[in-house]
């Protein structure tokens, strides 16, 4: 060995890279029309859509697309990437310059792309449309997606809600409450009293309350799982009435919330494994009949949790609790958006013939919600319909094609009746919710937020476990997170 | 295995003659080189993103990376306390894991080799390597159950206490359930043990294959010389395995900074200070930041460190044995 | 190499060792198998049990019949088998060729070739550039995008080389004298003598291909081309829709899918293992 191996290896690698020259992998610049819109437009021949939360192809997604072609004459090509890597796939599609015309986007990804100018501004299209959807859709859901990207144009719309954002409610074992003679808790003390009774009178191994983590794994809203304990504390940045942004985590309300969490945990009322719980662990515990209270999605999950739990405990019955007085509200997340990319050649056409059509309160909506007649549901001829079994599982009825029917954003009379348990849990949720706002995004925030969330997570978990006191926790937060908070607040208020 | 041909003074034939002699080998190398260039070297052009700001907005708006950053990504990295902590943790976790892996796996392989019963040997190996097939998510859920201190934080209700705590309590080793995976003092040992549980059996395969290559003549000769079993292992088996041990060690060294999934599924807010590794740090930053340039910079940094480690190890190997693995 | 098992003097130490060794492996096996039994037990109970219950309280193979009767799970099994066979075959081909070249110490350029290989173990281009290359090569949505990058595995190639280095050089010289071309020597001498290496490294390729998930997610959008591991991950995805169309208990189905993904290798390994028993040199002497 005459030469140093290190130099050789590096030199060789660089040589090869250089030799391969400027065969660059840079993406092409997308071309697309701007945000002008009118009621007149040309009908697109075909639309490509990327969707995450739709029916699988095995259960007849292609039949839905075929029926769409049948009804509108437009070829609909749907891509359904893996759920776990959904956003990586979309990024890759953008990077290679070939994103779909329409893409389903969650509330974390949507504002960032709206900010970046990747999405078609559909504000005017929505203002000017004459489609039936205009009169059927509840505008509060549409407004929830408006974003002010601080370009002087005020809040604009870059995506249309597919379904309501929905949120979580606190489910409780109604059968236990009945059996132990507990009435529905209305205050924090009554709520804690209920948990205490579960612990004392329940069978050995009872977990009064469980949740998958303390701060919703760093996803906003952070406080949804433990609303009863956070109450008026907001462990996130929020905008005061006068328009200035403040950090809710460093406010006194947070100290009180941490004290409540610590006390309840020390008393054994909160799952001892809350820090290590995954959502699936919680569901396992609930389905094994061990858990009294579990904060989880409103709607379908009421029935799903109950059905899965009756396998172990035939009497199991779940009810959604109205929110206690001190906590004030559950939170409805920002709805998932269906966006049109700037790469789309005919955005107005896609807006009218895909998005508006899918919310028309009529056969378009029926197709996007329930699928194809005689394949996914049958028409009873008396104005009602009945869902048919899934292709793949004759024992279970079709739930949805693209949009979950129970979360519809329009005043549409679903001809297929909902499971009463689902309806009831949604009713409780909707009576107790407030709408979350689209999270603000900026470079400063995205650079600092991850580290800030780490500090928050460490503080809450350590206070909960009693490793440090509430005061020490707040001091640690101010010391470790101070600079991130400062940078973000300066950016937000600047 | 004498490759030290430089020492022997033989006049080499001219290059063209040597190339002609090996013409068939060049032909055979073509498919390998084609794959190498297409799937490995061509994408490497992307390493230049490390010197750019390349965020979601550059991608979705089609503008492409912004190279005005220069070394900005690296500067940001080295001033980030969380990155530096995660880097230290990665080195500590991976290094000890590599040491335990090498020692434990070789010992288990040697012991398996000593099993006399053919059928028993097969059975033991098959059982031992099964855990390799479980994904980390599954392994984590099982061990979180096993190591749990129970869902009752007061420790008075033992119903949901995990198996290991239950055994330790019964043996009187501890007086109250310990939550092994949420205490900073116990998280790392647990992680090492879980790693060994999952990968030891699988790791023995390569050594067992290598053991089968040792000539029985060597043992016979040793036996005639009166060497006992232990001596045979020490003077024949281990030296014969040394080549494989070194190669496996260096190959693993190249991947030392890539530890991710095993930590990701087992770490939590309480033990972050001892468990956060570079990849989990990148993951968290990635979710919020979507800064591809920054992620590439971290990747490049890791690669450079690996390059030093591998070349260093190779150099040491060369000093000891006279030839390296590269 | 067998030794008499006896407690007589001279054999005593060996006997004690054999007993301790056996106890050690019984302990190891219990540690390894208990969690697997738990999964097996979970897969047979169509309701969720929390904790380490090892004996099922019902015997309900519904999850298994579900896996083998649903197209969405049966077809991925076929894809898995196909890609596993292809990757193993191509992978062994590439590794043996590469390793055979690498042991030609005097071949001009062989060192450069070695460094080129090693370099890719340490440096990589990252997600986006690799995707764009796949796109340019028109491999997106084909199984080649999964098979080809996996077929060139530098670690396996280097391990293969270490086995080849153990082959006696006299054999190559003899073959050359007999007038064998390098390709002839490779096929007639090297491969037959490397059964243990081929078995173990083939197993590495097979298992890697069987458990591959990432390449499918990134390069394939056609849902008919996903493998079993992909579906397995899909079952574990914590999403609201995870239970779409699944009427049986999710936990039961997950457990059954894990068992199905392990079982093939429980049978393949003992088969591969028989090649570990015949030593390289022994084989050479016999033939």
The mean per-residue pLDDT over the stretch C124-136 comes to: 88
Q: Look-up: residue for tokens 């955005």?
A: A347
Average model confidence (pLDDT) for chain C? Answer: 83
Which range of B62-76, C78-92, C97-111 scores highest in mean pLDDT? It is C78-92
CB-based contact A288 C239, cutoff 8 Å: no
B70 backbone φψ class: left, alpha, beta (φ>0; ψ -120 to 50): left
pLDDT value at position B66? 87
Closest Cα of chain A to B102: distance in Å?
25
- What is d(CA C190, CA C82) in angstroms, rounded to the nearest whole number? 27
Using the Cβ of B24 and the Cβ atoms of chain C, whether some distance falls under 8 Å is answered with yes
Residue A34 has pLDDT above 50, yes or no: no
Contacts of C49 in chain A (CB under 8 A): 288, 312
Residue A10, chain B, CB below 8 Å: the answer is yes
A20-A22-A26 Cα angle (round to 5): 120
Distance from CA of B270 to the nearest CA of A (A): 6
Tell me how many residue pairs between chain A and chain B have CB atoms under 8 A apart. 162
C128 in reach of chain A (CB within 8 A): yes
pLDDT band, residue C241 (cuts 50/70/90): very low
- Over residues C272-277, the mean pLDDT reads 74
Interchain contact, A25 vs C133, CB within 8 Å: yes
CA geometry: angle A90, A95, A100, nearest 5 deg: 45
Q: pLDDT-based confidence at C231, cuts 50/70/90?
A: confident
Give me the mean pLDDT over the A17-37 stretch: 42
Chain B partners of C166 at a C-beta cutoff of 8 Å? 1, 210, 213, 243
Instruction: Tell me the shortest Cα–Cα distance from B215 to chain C, in angstroms.
Output: 6
pLDDT band at A119 (very low <50, low <70, confident <90, very high): very high
Candidates A3, A7, A82, A281, partner chain C, best to mutate (most C CBs within 10 A) = A82
pLDDT at position C82 over 90: yes
Q: Please name the residue of chain B whose CA is at the shortest distance from the CA of residue C22.
A: B115
CB contact under 8 A, C108 and B22: yes
Q: For residue C200, which residues of chain B lie inside 8 Å, CB to CB?
A: 205-206, 208-209
Residues 329-348 of A with CB under 8 A from B: 341
A349-358, A432-441, C69-78, C192-201: least confident range:
C69-78
**What is the tens place of the pLDDT at every residue in B268-320?**
999 999 999 998 998 887 655 577 888 889 989 999 999 999 999 888 888 87
Cα nearest neighbour of C128 on chain A? A92
Beta partners for residue A76, in sequence order = A47
Each residue of B145-178: pLDDT tens digit?
889 888 888 888 888 888 889 889 889 888 888 8
> What domains are defined for chain A?
46-164+335-410 (3.40.190.10), 168-332+437-493 (3.40.190.10)
Strand (E) or helix (H) holding A156: strand A156-157
- For residue B160, what pLDDT is reported? 83
Percent of chain C with pLDDT over 70: 90
Q: Is the pLDDT of residue A43 over 70?
A: yes
pLDDT higher than 70, residue C2: no
The answer, yes or no, to whether residue C73 has pLDDT greater than 90, is no
Q: Could you state, in order of their start, the residue ranges of all structural domains in chain C?
A: 1-60, 66-286
In this model, does residue A336 exceed pLDDT 90? yes
Q: So what's the pLDDT on residue B59?
A: 81
Q: How confident is the model at residue A21 (pLDDT cuts 50, 70, 90)?
A: very low
C65–chain A nearest CA distance, Å: 12
Residue A45 has pLDDT above 50, yes or no: yes
User: What's residue A298's pLDDT?
Assistant: 92
Q: What is the pLDDT of residue A67?
A: 96
pLDDT higher than 60, residue B207: yes
Instruction: Decide if pLDDT at B22 tops 70.
Output: yes
Q: How confident is the model at residue C126 (pLDDT cuts 50, 70, 90)?
A: confident
Positive or negative CA dihedral for B1, B7, B12, B16?
positive
Q: Are C238 and A278 in contact (CB under 8 A)?
A: yes
Q: Is residue B17 scored above 70 in pLDDT?
A: yes
Residue appearing with tokens 């928050």? A456
pLDDT for residue C238: 54
Taking an 8 Å cut-off on Cβ atoms, the answer to whether A27 and B157 are in contact is no
Ranges of H-type helices in chain C? 12-43, 62-69, 71-102, 110-122, 127-136, 144-151, 154-165, 169-177, 182-185, 191-193, 195-210, 214-219, 228-236, 250-277, 280-286
pLDDT at C237: 63
C135 close contact with A: CB closer than 8 A? yes
What is the average per-residue pLDDT within B244-264?
A: 90
The mean per-residue pLDDT over the stretch C269-281 comes to 67
**What number is the average pLDDT over the span C210-225?**
87
Q: What is the ipTM of this complex?
A: 0.85
Predicted local confidence at residue A193, as pLDDT: 97
On the question of pLDDT at A59 being above 60, the answer is yes
Could you tell me which chain B residue has the CA closest to the CA of C201? B206
What pLDDT score was predicted for residue B115? Answer: 86
- Closest CB to C269 among B126, B229, B244: B126
Partner-chain contact A273 B149, CB within 8 Å: yes
Q: Answer yes or no: is pLDDT of A76 > 90.
A: yes
Whether the per-residue pLDDT at A142 is higher than 90: the answer is yes
Q: Do B39 and C282 count as a contact with CB atoms less than 8 A apart? A: no
pLDDT exceeds cutoff 60 at B6:
no
User: How do the domains of chain B map onto residue ranges?
Assistant: 5-321
Q: Which fold has domain C66-286?
A: MetI-like fold (1.10.3720)
CATH number of B5-321: 1.10.3720.10
Instruction: Say what the pLDDT of residue A13 is.
Output: 55
pLDDT of B187 above 90: yes
- Span B99-129, pLDDT tens digits: 999 999 999 999 998 888 878 888 898 899 8
The predicted structure's pLDDT at residue C286:
32
Residue A338's pLDDT band (boundaries 50, 70, 90)? Answer: very high
pLDDT at position C282 is 39
pTM of the model: 0.88
**Burial call C186-197: b when 16+ CB within 10 Å, e when fewer:** beebbeebbbbb
Question: What average pLDDT does this structure show over A436-464?
Answer: 88
User: CA-CA distance, C12 to C15, in Å (whole number)?
Assistant: 5
pLDDT value of position B61 = 73
Structure confidence at residue A120 (pLDDT): 94
Pairwise CB contact (< 8 Å): A392 & C230? no
Q: Confidence class of residue C181 from pLDDT cuts 50, 70 and 90?
A: confident
Average pLDDT along chain B:
87
Write the pLDDT tens digit of every residue in A97-111.
889 999 999 887 898
Cβ neighbours for B179, distance < 8 A, ≥ 6 positions apart: A272, A273, B147, B148, B149
Contact B211 C276 (CB under 8 A): yes
Residues of C in contact with A57 (CB under 8 A): 223-224
């Amino acid at each position: 060995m005459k030469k140093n191996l290190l130099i050789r290896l590096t030199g060789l690698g660089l040589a090869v890279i250089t030799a391969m020259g400027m065969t660059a992998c840079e993406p092409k610049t997308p071309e697309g029309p701007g945000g002008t819109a009118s009621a007149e437009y040309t009908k697109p021949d075909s639309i490509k859509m990327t969707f995450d939360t739709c029916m699988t192809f095995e259960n007849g997604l292609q039949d839905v697309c075929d029926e769409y072609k049948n009804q509108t004459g437009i070829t609909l090509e749907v891509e359904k990437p893996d759920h776990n890597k959904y956003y990586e796939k979309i990024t890759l599609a953008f990077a290679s310059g070939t994103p779909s015309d329409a893409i389903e986007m969650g509330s974390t990804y949507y504002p960032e792309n709206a900010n970046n100018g990747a999405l078609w501004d559909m504000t005017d299209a929505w203002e000017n449309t004459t489609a039936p959807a205009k009169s059927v859709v509840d505008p509060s859901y549409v407004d929830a997606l408006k974003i002010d990207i601080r370009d002087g144009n005020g809040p604009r719309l870059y995506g249309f809600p597919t379904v309501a954002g929905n949120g979580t409610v606190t489910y409780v074992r109604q059968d236990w409450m009945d059996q132990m003679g507990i009435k529905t808790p209305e205050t924090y003390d009554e709520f804690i009293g209920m948990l205490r009774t579960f612990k004392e009178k329940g069978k050995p191994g009872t977990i009064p309350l469980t949740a998958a983590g303390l701060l919703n794994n760093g996803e906003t809203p952070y406080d949804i799982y433990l609303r009863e304990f956070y109450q008026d504390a907001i462990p996130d940045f929020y905008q005061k009435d006068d328009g200035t942004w403040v950090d809710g985590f460093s406010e006194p309300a947070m100290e009180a919330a941490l004290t409540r969490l610590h006390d309840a945990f020390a008393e054994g009322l909160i799952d001892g494994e809350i820090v290590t719980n995954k959502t699936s662990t919680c569901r396992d515990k609930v389905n094994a009949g061990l858990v009294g209270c579990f904060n989880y999605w409103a709607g379908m999950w009421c029935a799903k949790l109950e059905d899965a739990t009756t396998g172990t405990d035939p009497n199991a019955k779940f009810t959604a609790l109205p929110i206690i007085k001190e906590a004030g509200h559950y939170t409805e997340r920002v709805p998932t958006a269906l966006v049109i990319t700037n790469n789309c050649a005919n955005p107005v056409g896609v807006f009218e013939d895909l998005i508006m059509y899918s919310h028309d309160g009529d056969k378009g909506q029926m197709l996007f919600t329930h699928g194809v007649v005689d394949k996914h549901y049958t028409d009873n001829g008396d104005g009602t319909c009945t869902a048919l079994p899934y292709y793949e599982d004759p024992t279970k009825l079709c739930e949805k094609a693209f949009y979950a029917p129970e979360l519809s954003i329009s005043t549409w009379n679903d001809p297929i009746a909902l499971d009463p348990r689902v309806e009831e849990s949604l009713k409780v949720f909707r009576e107790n919710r407030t709408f979350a706002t689209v999270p603000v995004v900026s470079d400063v925030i995205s650079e600092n937020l991850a580290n800030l969330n780490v500090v928050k997570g460490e503080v809450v978990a350590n206070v909960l476990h009693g490793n440090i006191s509430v005061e020490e926790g707040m001091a640690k937060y101010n010391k470790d997170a101070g600079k991130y908070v400062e940078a973000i607040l300066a950016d937000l208020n600047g | 295995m004498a490759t030290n041909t430089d020492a022997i003074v033989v006049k080499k034939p001219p290059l063209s003659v040597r190339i002609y002699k090996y013409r068939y080998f060049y032909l055979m190398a073509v498919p390998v080189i084609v794959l190498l260039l297409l799937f490995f070297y061509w994408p490497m052009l992307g390493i230049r993103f490390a010197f750019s700001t390349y965020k979601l907005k550059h991608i979705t708006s089609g503008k492409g990376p912004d190279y005005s950053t220069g070394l900005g990504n690296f500067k940001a990295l080295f001033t980030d306390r969380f990155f530096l902590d995660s880097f230290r943790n990665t080195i500590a976790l991976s290094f000890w894991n590599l040491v335990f892996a090498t020692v434990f796996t070789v010992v288990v392989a040697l012991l398996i080799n000593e099993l006399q019963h053919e059928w028993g040997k097969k059975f033991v190996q098959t059982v031992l390597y099964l855990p390799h097939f479980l994904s980390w998510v599954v392994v984590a859920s099982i061990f979180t159950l096993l190591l749990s201190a129970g869902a009752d934080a007061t420790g008075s209700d033992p119903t949901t206490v995990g198996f290991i705590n239950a055994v330790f309590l019964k043996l009187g080793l501890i007086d109250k359930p310990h939550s092994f995976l949420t205490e900073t003092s116990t998280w790392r040992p647990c992680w090492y043990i879980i790693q060994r549980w999952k990968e030891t059996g699988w790791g023995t395969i390569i050594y067992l294959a290598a053991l089968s290559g040792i000539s029985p003549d060597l043992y016979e000769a040793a036996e005639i010389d009166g060497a006992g079993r232990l001596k045979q292992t020490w003077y024949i088996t281990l030296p014969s395995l040394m080549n494989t041990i070194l190669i496996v060690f260096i190959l693993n060294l190249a991947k030392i900074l890539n530890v991710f999934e095993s930590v990701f599924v087992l770490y939590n807010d309480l033990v972050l200070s001892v468990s956060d590794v570079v990849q989990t740090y990148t993951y968290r930053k990635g979710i919020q930041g979507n800064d591809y340039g920054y992620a590439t910079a971290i990747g490049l940094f890791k690669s450079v460190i690996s390059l030093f480690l591998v070349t260093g190890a190779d150099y040491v190997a060369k000093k000891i044995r006279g030839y390296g693995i590269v | 190499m067998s030794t008499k098992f006896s407690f007589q003097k001279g054999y005593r130490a060996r006997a004690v060792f054999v007993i301790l060794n056996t106890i050690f492996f019984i302990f190891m096996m219990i540690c390894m198998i208990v969690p697997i039994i738990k999964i097996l037990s979970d897969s047979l109970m169509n309701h969720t049990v929390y904790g380490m219950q090892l004996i099922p309280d019902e015997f309900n193979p519904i999850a298994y019949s579900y896996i083998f009767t649903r197209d969405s799970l049966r077809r991925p099994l076929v894809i898995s088998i196909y890609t596993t066979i292809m990757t193993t075959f191509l992978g062994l081909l590439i590794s043996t060729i590469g390793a055979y070249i690498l042991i030609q110490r005097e071949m001009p350029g062989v060192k450069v070739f070695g460094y080129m290989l090693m370099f890719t173990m340490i440096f990589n281009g990252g997600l986006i550039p690799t995707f764009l290359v796949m796109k340019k090569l028109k491999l997106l949505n084909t199984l080649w995008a999964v098979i080809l990058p996996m077929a060139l595995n530098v670690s396996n190639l280097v391990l293969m080389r270490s086995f080849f280095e153990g082959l006696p050089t006299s054999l190559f010289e003899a073959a050359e004298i007999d007038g064998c071309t390098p390709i002839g020597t490779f096929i007639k001498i090297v491969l037959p003598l490397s059964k243990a290496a081929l078995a173990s490294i083939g197993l590495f390729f097979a298992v890697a291909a069987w458990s591959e998930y990432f390449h499918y997610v990134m390069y394939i959008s056609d849902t008919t081309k996903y493998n079993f591991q992909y579906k397995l991950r899909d079952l574990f995805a914590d999403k609201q829709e995870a239970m779409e169309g699944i009427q049986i208990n999710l936990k039961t189905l997950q457990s059954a899918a894990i068992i199905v993904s392990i079982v093939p290798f429980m049978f393949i390994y003992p088969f591969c293992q028989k090649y570990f028993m015949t030593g390289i040199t022994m084989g050479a002497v016999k033939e």
